[in-house]
Structure 1
Amino acid sequence: MIDNLLENLLDNMDVGMIVVNNLGEISMFNEKSKTIFNLDMSKNKYLKEIIPSLNIEDIHGIEEYITKKHKDKIIIDNKVLNIHSIPIKKADIKSGYMLLIYDITELAELNNEINKERSTIRILNYTLEMAYDGIIVIDKDGIVTMINKSYTEFLEIDQDWAIGRHVTEVIENTRMHIVAKTRIQETAQLQKIKGRYMIATRIPVIENGELVAVIGKILFKNVKELDLLYNKIRNIEDEYKKYKGEFEHSNSASYCFDNLIGNSKSFTQAKKLAKKSAQTDSNVLLRGESGTGKELFAHAIHRASERAYANFVKVNCAAIPIDLLEAELFGYEGGSFTGARKEGKMGKFELANEGSIFLDEIGDMPLHMQAKLLRVLQEKEVERVGSTRTKKIDVRIIAATNRNLEEMIKEGTFREDLYYRLNVVTINIPPLRERPEDVEILSNYLTEKVSTKLNKKIKGLSKDAVHCLMNYKWEGGVRQLENVIERAINLVGYEKLIEPNHLPKEITESKYEFENISLNDIVNEAEKDAILKALIACNWNKSMVAKKLNISRTSLYEKIEKHRILI
């Protein structure tokens, strides 16, 4: 009965028990050890079978082995165990051992989790201490549970003193305890501390419907910091807007069809065809003499097309050096040639992707570049200089020329296949000399435009002045007419009409009337006229004007002031 009682007691223990003799043979084990090691008396006869790390030669030193080598724990079959040995003696002679096995797997896992939590808390505390912004945490009762060094330095208090005190004792004019009651977040609120205004945010932390904490954070310890930050951000935004504005200005269409002034039949037909072409994606070839307004037509076509939202990129093929034209059109990789940017550069075609590119003076493009351009038109892809990769593009080409491309094809200076690629829609823009009926409306338009630019108010053009302009053969086109109008506006008095005497002699072919004009007036008028002509010819470069007129810069400035010439 006692044996049965002892057996039941051992089997109900929550500790494993194994009895072995001096040879390591298992003579007895309880239910817990059976569960731990999955013991079977018919299979497991030796201790080394369940604890492989124990050698049979060490059996006599098992007590030392277990208590010292495995003092803390051993791991068997992913189970973490503590094992203690109790010697079994008969007449003071050891006959074996009773091993007590404690399964601490769950405890070890819990301990690992606790250690991880402790590590996380240490890192969090370190992070909070390193934070420049002041941070404080209170519990639901308003007691400070954490405050970082930055905040205590700002408040000029001891960190250890603050922990455990009510927040109202620590921070003047605080609302942290109010947020703990209302549970309503307060963001970027002004708070006065030590005579200075700061900006703070207070955030309630709620878990499972219960408030567990309120976190307070100083955003700016002084409102001046906010002003400084705002000014920095505003400066950055201003620079961005300036850059964006310059980029968009240089890569956008500035004119629309309303800016194409003229009612003559030939000009109206050109505008009508241009408007139709704007509704398609076909390439357009603009043909006309210099000064006919080819670039204005290109602007207008882009702005009226479905590509108006994208870039309008302008390229003057005659103005770019031949050896740089390929890199300018197609871009290049960094370091591909001497002087190239390290980061490389996007070409005009890539920049115009999904938009339009205006190739002015296309007749001046060298033959080897014509071949490369043809490939772009055929394959719809570009390859940067120095690169082995191609990039797909979607670009609408508007080309312009004042040259006879058909004659150039015969001479072998322009590729016939490229000509047919570009010449899908051809728009011939008539020169101004072939549409004299447009001179009056153009002159009035340009007079208003230039007077606004020069900020000079005049009445307009007299009938005689308009008659002179209409009877002149404008070899220089609209550009020449605009220069003449600008010259006249500089000569005419405020709120006066432009008269024939304000126009160049080659236009009026008239003579001065001497009856009511003194010699001094004639000399002054001639001097003013000469200075104005020189200024216009030299593109308003005063140093160049002084050199051409063979006078000093000082004398030129005196005469400009004397004649009240607007610069």
Structure 2
Amino acid sequence: MELSQLYRSVLDSIIEGVIIVDEGARILYINKTAVRLLNLSGDFIGKHVTKVVPNTRLHIVVRTGIPEIDEVQHVGKNIIVTSRIPLKDKEENIVGAVAVFRDITSVKKLAEEITNLHEIEARLKAIIDSTYDAISVADEYGNVILVNKAYTELTGFKPEEVIGKPATVDIAEGESIHLMIAKTRKPIYNARLKVGPMKKEVIVNAEPLFVRGKFSGSVAVVHDVSKILDLTRELEEMRRMMRQVKAQYTFEDIIGKSEKILMAKEQARKVAKTPVTVLLRGESGTGKELFAHAIHNESNRKNGPFISVNCAAIPENILEIELFGYSGGAFLGARKEGKKGLLEEADGGTLFLDEIGKMPLSLQAKILRFIERKEFLPVGSTTVKKVDVRIIAATNMNLEELVKKEKFLSDLYFRLNVFPIFLPSLREIKEDIPVLVKHLSKKIARQFGRKVDDVSSVAVKYLKSYDWPGNVRELENVIGRAIINMNINETILEKRHFPTLFLEKTSENFKYEGSLKSLVEDFERKVIENVLKENKGDRTKTARSLGISIRTLYYKIEKYGLG
């Protein structure tokens, strides 16, 4: 089959490769594009096509007469897509075949790049959506092109309400930072604005975006100032809940002659003179903080600071800052000069970590490092600090059980449990109740500006018949209420002065003793105690169950000696 020169010129000028074979699958023609794509050289006209293109199927199409359309074929490092069509004469006899193909290597790479870009875009959007900071992105003209979930929560605007619109759409008061950057191409920091329908006050930090040196828009991070102010207020409240005091109690202030109390005092005296970490164990209200004071005052650190921290009363992020301090600029709202943590302030003295069992795991690891190395890293700092601080920890929880449940670090448990001191509950040392009652009644009477000479034997017997779930702290509160119930001219505490200690079954014949106020308080104490037990000591759940704030719950726990 002859091809005219015109046909050859046309076929040589197209971007597809073309191979034509005769009825014997011998090559009649290959255009220039095919030569280049197949990297051919030498004389190939008249040769069988399989000798020139090993993985061809033209010879099969010649034999079967069945066309093959858009088949993918690998030629060296290139990928081509080929259509093979049989050639027939007027009588439908097969006289040859033609293959037309194109290199799709670059197209495939482009498709892969586009797919990768879509995946990267999806990942970046997921990352941006997961951050707590409100983020908005604008194009080079100052039109919003992206916002995250935190932005929606802060401003109240959904993405569809702002995307594609000028960046002024969300501003209640102030000038658009995105539009300012579109004009100046410079970053803007700490701009104060009000955004959204609620006119929330925010601080905005924004940076221009450049792609290959060309300005392409800006990204802004928006911080809710009201949250920062709330955090500051909460921090101040937590500071008030922590006590940085001089240890005021000694072993002489620990009243009791029972064997268990005397044993605990003897152990505490022995360990006081050493630098060993001490773990005070016992139920709430058994006097763990009293023992911590006494140990400090008996030690060679008695002239140093004594700092007490309740690990359960303070949120994790605030507790970390208060314990370890922070470097300047560690977070938004931080002092430029930074702040000392309580560990540093306790240098040369004692840090009492009350309710250590409630400390979050992340902070347990940092406390463990401090106990092991006597060094710590302030929040946001890269400089390690070393201090000389003795740790006294206390807990009313079963640390062994917490270790099994992986809620307390085993290494920290072993470091703290070097010298445990177990403090008995009041129901275990009821023989100490008479002396405790007389001591506490006189002490509390002085605080109230009253005079108590004695406590009747009937009253003491009544107090001994109660199991005291709140231990000595509850006993103190009950005595305080009894003194308030005394008439001004009375000096002897009688049974009638004490509130009802047992919530007995109500009946028409039951006679309540005490004032209405004291009866109501007793009922409130019992309810709180029961709900705390139901929630396994979880105070947040308890406050929620009772419908009161966590601060109110802490106040009432302290008031009723429920620890």
TM band (smaller chain) = 0.3 to 0.5
* Structure with max Cα Rg: 1
